[in-house]
Amino acid sequence: MKNYDELTGMMDTLSMVTKKELERLCSSKLGEDYFKSLIDSMKYSVFAGGKAIRPYLVYEFSAASDECDSYIEGCESYAAAVELIHTFSLIHDDLPAMDDDDMRRGKPSNHIVFGEATAILAGDALSLLAMYACASNRQLSPLQNCDAVECLSYYAGKEGMIGGQQLDLDGEKNQLTREKLDLMNSLKTGALIAAACELGCIAGKANEAKKIAAKGYGYYIGRAFQVVDDILDIEGNSAELGKNTGSDLNNNKSTYVSLLGLDGAKQFAIELTENAKKCLDVFPGSKVKQRLLLLADYLLDRKK
């Protein structure tokens, strides 16, 4: 097992930067008493913990694009934005009409605490707040902010995360082919992770070759992340994962485990991880690049 202490230390440090920006964005300018239940519902899920992988990628690719060892000032808004979109997706994903999960990150799901209607509104509000975070960024240029909004709205939308979620729902009724399963995971999980990588490139003013490579890295680790999720749904521990295991099997979902078997799924996750690492060849050697290489292995080895 590799030593991930330096990587996780950096992730924790940058997570605190994101948290500060999220606290600013989630505060109400009108006073929280006017719609306290909505604000409480939003904050409940935004600050529920989690790995914060997507914001981390924004910071690291901003630094890698600029060929420096520290992130670009101003990309905090982009990092927060991608986390807001991710959180919105988790709230809606847990709803009874979707996956009907009552646990998330070791806590009751948002709709269990606040009710379905408020949970839906909280998810809606977070998705719009993400666009506001990008568009209102005063530290980066209007053109960069415009590119950021275009990037995030596209990869989160019908041809990205939300489209992938629809394919996931379709897969509950019919067994998906390998081609459709690959597409589903590329969109549902890979697209938003790729968006995070591209947002970092936008902040760091990366050239087109670096943007393409960064998105490739994001898609590969995103797909590997989903394959590992499928494996953990069978082999994982509910207490460690912070959510119920066995739900994919119970819902008769199409997964890489159901299609390839456990051993086949594990081998596929390794192949995707190695492909992700190759995408980083266009970036110069640096501590940032080494951390991104290590991150790919970290996500492959994770147990939660």
Q: Mind giving me the DSSP string for 202-247? A: HHTT--HHHHHHHHHHHHHHHHHHHHHHHHHHHH--HHHHTS-SSH
Token digits of residue 130: 């993400």
| String of DSSP letters for 151-217 | HHHHHHSTTTHHHHHHHHHHHHHSPPPHHHHHHHHIIIIIHHHHHHHHHHHHHTT--HHHHHHHHHH
Question: How far apart, in whole angstroms, are the C-alpha atoms of residue 103 and residue 93?
Answer: 11
Average pLDDT of 99-123?
A: 95
Question: In the prediction, which pLDDT does 164 show?
Answer: 94
Q: Which domains does the chain have, with CATH numbers?
A: 5-301 (1.10.600.10)
pLDDT in tens, 131-158: 999 999 999 999 999 999 999 999 999 9
Structure confidence at residue 94 as a pLDDT band (50, 70, 90): very high
Question: In the prediction, which pLDDT does 284 show?
Answer: 85
Question: How far apart, in whole angstroms, are the C-alpha atoms of residue 187 and residue 185?
Answer: 5
Question: How far apart, in whole angstroms, are the C-alpha atoms of residue 38 and residue 97?
Answer: 20
pLDDT in tens, 247-272: 665 566 788 998 999 999 999 999 99
Mean pLDDT (the chain, rounded): 91
pLDDT in tens, 44-61: 999 998 889 999 999 999
Structure confidence at residue 277 as a pLDDT band (50, 70, 90): very high
Average pLDDT of 286-296?
A: 93
Question: In the prediction, which pLDDT does 241 show?
Answer: 54
Question: In the prediction, which pLDDT does 250 show?
Answer: 55
Comparison of pLDDT for 108 and 236, the residue scoring more: 108
Under DSSP, is residue 107 helix (H, G, I), strand (E, B) or coil? Answer: strand
Average pLDDT of 196-211?
A: 97
